[in-house]
Amino acid sequence: MSWERAAGRCQAIQPCRGEPRTRAARRAASVAIAIVAAGFGFTRGVEAAQPMHFTHLGADAGLAQGGVMAIVEDSQGFLWLGTEDGLVRYDGYALRHLIRQRGVPGSLPNNWIAALASGSDGRLWIGTDGGGVAWRDPMTGRFVPLRPAAGEAAVSPEEKVRALHLDHAGHLWIATRTAGLVEVDAVTAQVRRFQHDEADGATLSDDGVLAVAEGHGGALWVATHLGVDRLDPASGRAERLGLRIAAALGASGPVQANAVLEDQHGDLWVGTDAGLAKIEAAGERVRVYRSQRDVPGTLPSDHVQALLEDDSGRLWVGTGAGLALFDRRAERFDTYRHEAADPASLPDDYVISLYEDRAGLMWIGTKTKGVAKWNPRSWSFGHQLGGDPAGTAVTAFAEDGKETLWLGTFGAGLSAIDRRTGAARSHYRHRPNDPRSLPDDRVMAALVDHQGTLWVGTMTAGLARLDAGSHAFRTYRPDGAVAQSLPASGVMCLLEDTRGNLWVGTYGGGLARFDRASDGFRRYALADAGEEGLRSDRATALAEDPSGLLWVGTDGGGLDLLDPDTGKVVRFVHQRDDTSTLSANTVYAVHVDPRGGVWIGTRGGGLDHIIGSARRPDDIRFRNYSETDGLANDTVYGIESDSAGRLWLSTIGGLSRFEPDSGAIRNFRQSHGLQGDEFNFGAHFRSVTGQLFFGGPNGYNGFFPERLLYDEIPPPVVLTAFLKFNQPAQATLVPEQLKSISLGYKDAVVTLEFAALDFAAPAANRYRYMLQGFDRGWVEAGAKRSVTYTNLAAGNYIFRVRAANSDGVWNEGGLSLPVTVAPAPWATWWARVAYALLAALIIYWLWSTQQRKLQREAAYARRLQVEVRDRTVELAERNRELEHLNHQLKEASLTDPLTGLGNRRYLQQMLTQFASAEELREAQHGAPPLSMVLMVIDLDYLKPINDMHGHQAGDRILTQVADILRDCCRAGDYAARWGGDEFVVAYLGADLSNAQVLAERVRSRVAKQIFRLGDGRVVRTSCSIGFARYPFVLEAPALLSWEQCLSLADAALFHAKKQRNAWLGWAGTAAAAAVEGLLQAVETDLERLEREGRLEVRRTQFQPEDTVDKLRVGARRRSDWPTGV
């Protein structure tokens, strides 16, 4: 609750799991819970029970019927509820309702489920009211009626079963309403019956059996309509105790026993319709507990319906008027009932079943409102109500050296709590006509100073000081006529600094310091605009840092830093466009941690950490943490440090534990045992012993952080649903029992649902999953517990799920489920074999067909042989003619028809022959190969000429360029049109020096050439030339092929093209022997190659004056050319 909300209320008053833990481990953990819970709060006094917060599963959660007769957890971890209208399975998220279906094999025999028992073999035993006994097959989920070996029904199908019990030997005991007690050997199915015999006093006292419990010595305690019997299973003899119990209860006749148990001490507890009886193991004494109206600590009702001793030894009693917890030392009962105004109270006072699961959670079945769940670890947070029953909203804490905790409440005054007993020593309330009483019941701040004096800040009545001797209050209020009076009547915060000065933060009057000598106050006035001083008259939080400076949080005015010696004030406010400033201008908490760090709790801005020194305020920056970083809420009401240096933050949305070094945050809420998710502004305190206190609307929590208990058991992970195309898949096994999943090629959409069977806070459970063979890694699913896969390829996969419980403990093993996707019929191995056989048959048919054809052709050939001889002369003549024509065609195939030069094929053929001849010469004679230079020539502006004058003009230019090349090249050189406007010249026996002469000759001729296009049109153009030597590295002739050298020449052309009307050529040196990446490097990093000596490069050294770049591309008539062109 914030100050603003408190002010609003004031105005309404007056203007202003994993593996199942062993029983021993559970017992040790439960005992630890009991011990720690006592240490967190106080030893409970007699005034009130320690609060319990229940979570409900009723109609709102989908429970079809509210009468929960029986509760049990099966071997896998599912929780089962027996109701008057069927069986319900709970996985922490959903309730699955199973009912009898007439004519459907494997369904329940009856909808009234009166009793449940879970076997170690996975079977769930169900006792019905009118349908006998059945067991659920854990593999198929079908219900099987109990059929003993002899064929005789153990229980008539019409019999009403009242209880089931599996003993240490695995025998099932069935308590019936009219047929006595039945024993069934679960292995051999042999049956024994135990019934009442009027003539035999060693038989059961009555055939109406309501409950069965096993004693430590193997004997059975049998609750009947006439009391309790002790049955020896070996001899079958029974001892009747009903009359003794009835006499102790003061009944005139036998009383009905509804529940029975033998506790850890060997004492027998019997719940009857006339109260609770205990027969002590050490003697014959019978102790009786009954309900007494208006007597605290007695049973809430004499109608006892259920008994449970949990693993910590606590005795729970379910009655018709609430749930009772027995305090063995005090010999009294704490009662928990339904409270209409408290949604976390028991949902129904009529308790009919009790159960403790493997994780230690308590389940309470009620008659009309379903089942309630309680987590015993929630007591480790030490929730206590306010000191005065009239008000539970705690707003302030203080402690003195006399083992007294002072609680300030909103509306119920001040209480002094004895730290040793938890009992309230005294209550201080406002009495209107008593000026020595507490001036206001709405306490907003409390502090015990170094002298042991208690100071109390109130909502509207000023500051009060308690005289410990007279228990009277001296009140300080505002007085306009007295300059040293309290500046305002609303006191929001108190602080005693290291010098012993008392500082008072007020609502409406700013900050004041109490002067003990004058018994007055020094006011710190607000500063006018532009002046130094406090900027807000509503001081909400105070803290002193190690340097002695005072940090003052305000309501709406930001954060002030006050130097008490000089009175100088530095102000810090939120700036929207600067994330390094204060995150919000309303500050609810200021805290200095043990290392001197300053932390700020704000309204709506989260937590701020001050970075920098208070002595250099201009350098101060703020580091913010908010809900996006994991905080429970961005409104932080209080901050305290624990002994490990962690920060605990009370907020509107729960309690956050913050690790300053790592920034890790863990949140706690009402389900963990907090008084509520919302806390009160200013209600936080750390005692001298390290105990932390946080107050809220429903009391307060007092705990030692290092002693908090968490659920350390990894939760079991199960598959809860397997769907194809969003419909449950047909399977012989229930989803949780599937050992593998097989999918067909048509199963394009598959959904897998899973659950961690930890019921403490299922919504806080976390999951990660991976389909090995498909997912690249673990998928962090958060609270989502299903995944859908579509169009999985044929193959083998493994679906894995890991889960963490609400306390962050992961089951790393989790669920592992092989998944196989079958291929389509046409993609199976046998289909491939069939394809191969079919192909072989086709090949054989083709071969045999061809053989027959060849035979026919051979016969025909023989017939033609004579004709062939006759025509040989004629064909020989024609062959000579064809050879001549073929020669002409071959020459044509090697010649470019436009220019008459060789074409690409011609050049490739000649260069290949040249390379082969040189390799042979080197191999035979050991002589180094002759070198050549491969030169690529490309016209610069042919495309725009074609675009302007047509392709015929381009053809005329190409033929004239070919003539230039013929003039420039020697007779033995190879010149060819490579394609388009690109020519290649193989300059034989040349080195780079010769090549650059030829390149310059060709470049210059082309640049100066006046190309005639016909019709009087002429044009000028230029060319770019790139060349490379082959072999590229003389020392390693085989290093690069001529094709690679031609590519290098093309790369040189690429660089020359950047300048146009230029040439560039190169050859490799010995340093270029490592040619890996050379082709790419010459295009992207030429300078580095040249600098490293891997290339010998030659470039154009000048640009002629008549370069085409200075002319406009296009054609003009000869008469239009400038003089001299």
- Cα atoms in the 13 Å half-sphere on the side-chain side of 846: 6
Whether 1063 shows a pLDDT value over 50: the answer reads yes
The Cα 209–Cα 634 span in angstroms is 58
Q: What pLDDT score was predicted for residue 1090? A: 80
Out of 211-215, 270-274, 696-700, 909-913, which region has the weakest mean confidence (pLDDT)?
909-913
Residue given tokens 């998710």 in the structure block: 677
For residue 1122, is pLDDT > 80?
no
Q: Which of 315-329, 870-884, 1040-1054, 1066-1080 has the lowest mean pLDDT?
A: 1066-1080
Q: What is the pLDDT of residue 749?
A: 97
- My answer on whether 1039 and 945 are in the same domain is yes
Are residues 946 and 1059 located together in one domain of the fold?
A: yes
Between 421 and 310, residue with greater pLDDT:
310
Angle at 591 between CA 587 and CA 596, to 5 degrees: 135
Q: Does residue 814 share a domain with residue 910?
A: no
Which of 827, 860, 893 is at the close of a domain?
A: 827
pLDDT over 60 (residue 25): no
Q: Are residues 1025 and 1110 in the same domain?
A: yes
pLDDT of residue 523: 92
| SS (HEC) of 338-371 | CCCCCCCCCCCCCEEEEEECCCCCEEEEECCCCE
CA dist., res. 503 & res. 548, Å (int): 13
Give domain status of residue 514, yes or no.
no
Same domain, 930 and 1028: yes
Token pair 């061809």: residue: 850
Same domain, 812 and 919: no
Looking at the chain, the whole-number percentage of residues with pLDDT higher than 90 is 74
Q: How far apart, in whole angstroms, are the C-alpha atoms of residue 454 and residue 434?
A: 19
Which of 609-613, 638-642, 728-732 is least confident?
A: 728-732
The span from the CA of 87 to the CA of 83, in Å, is: 6
Which helix (H) or strand (E) segment is 952 a member of? helix 951-968
- Based on the fold, state whether residues 1071 and 976 are members of the same structural domain: yes
pLDDT band at 998 (very low <50, low <70, confident <90, very high): very high
> Which amino acid, residue 741?
I
Q: Residue 1110: pLDDT band by 50, 70, 90 thresholds?
A: very low
Say how far apart CA 956 and CA 951 lie, in whole Å. 9
- What is the model's pLDDT at position 388? 60
Mean pLDDT calculated for residue range 515-522: 95
Compute the average pLDDT of residues 786-796: 96
What would the pLDDT profile of 291-311 be if each residue is shown by its tens digit? 999 899 999 999 999 999 999
Domain membership of residue 1056 as a residue range: 904-1120
Asked whether residue 815 falls in the same domain as residue 925, the answer is no
Report whether 318 contacts 305 (CB < 8 A).
yes
| Within-domain flag for 574 | no
Residue 858, helix vs strand vs coil: helix
Tell me: the pLDDT tens digits for 545-584? 999 999 999 999 999 999 999 999 999 999 999 999 999 9
> Does some domain include residue 314?
no
Q: Is it the case that residue 1102 has pLDDT exceeding 70?
A: no
pLDDT digits (tens, 9 = 90+) for 27-57: 444 444 444 444 444 444 444 578 899 999 9
Count the helix, strand and coil residues of the chain and give each as a percent rounded to the nearest 5: 20, 35, 45
Alpha carbon distance 1092, 718 (integer Å):
66
Which own/partner contact pairs does 399-403 have at CB distance under 8 Å and 24+ positions apart?
399/448, 399/685, 399/687, 399/688, 400/448, 400/452, 400/454, 401/452
pLDDT of residue 186: 76
pLDDT at 13 over 60: no
Find, among 1074, 1110, 1124, the residue nearest to 1095 by Cα.
Answer: 1074
Q: Does 65 fall in a domain?
A: no
Kindly state whether residues 815 and 911 are assigned to the same domain: no
Listed residues 784, 799, 827: the one ending a domain: 827
Instruction: Report d(CA 783, CA 1077) in Å as an integer.
Output: 52
Instruction: Give mean pLDDT, residues 464-489.
Output: 95
CB atoms within 10 A of CB 265: 12
Task: Answer with the one of 808, 827, 846 that is the final residue of a domain.
Answer: 827
By percentage, how much of the chain surpasses pLDDT 70? Answer: 90
The CATH number covering residue 790 comes to 2.60.40.10
- Tell me, yes or no, whether 511 lies in a domain: no
State the average pLDDT for the chain. Answer: 89
> CA 764 from chain center: how many Å?
10
Residue 808 sits in the same domain as residue 920: no
Q: Are residues 983 and 1096 in the same domain?
A: yes
Predicted local distance difference test score (pLDDT) of residue 828: 86
Q: Give me the pLDDT at residue 472, please.
A: 97
Residue 1124 confidence (pLDDT) above 60: no
Confidence of residue 1084 (pLDDT cuts 50, 70, 90): confident
**Cis geometry, peptide bond prior to residue 594 (ω within 30 degrees of 0):** no
| 1120 CB-contact burial (10 Å; exposed 0-12 / middle 13-18 / buried 19+) | exposed
Contacts of 346 (CB under 8 A, 6+ apart): 54, 322, 323, 336, 337, 338, 364, 366, 372
Which of these, 373, 376, 319, lies nearest to 347 by C-alpha position? 373
**Spatial distance between the Cα atoms of 106 and 388, rounded to a whole number of angstroms:** 58
Look at residue 231 and tell me if it is in a domain: no
Which residues, in sequence order, are CB contacts of 1050 under 8 Å at separation 6+?
936, 1026
Residue recorded with tokens 């046409």: 826
What digits encode the pLDDT tens for the residues 93-116?
Answer: 999 999 999 989 999 999 999 999
Residue 591 lies in a domain: no
Do 964 and 1106 share a domain, yes or no?
yes
Provide the number of structural domains found in the chain: 2
CA atoms of 854 and 860, how far apart (whole Å): 10
Handedness of CA 427, 433, 439, 442 (dihedral sign): positive
Judged against a pLDDT cut of 50, whether residue 223 lies above it is answered with yes
- What's the average model confidence in pLDDT over 787-803? 97
CATH number at residue 1057: 3.30.70.270
Q: Is residue 1052 part of a domain?
A: yes
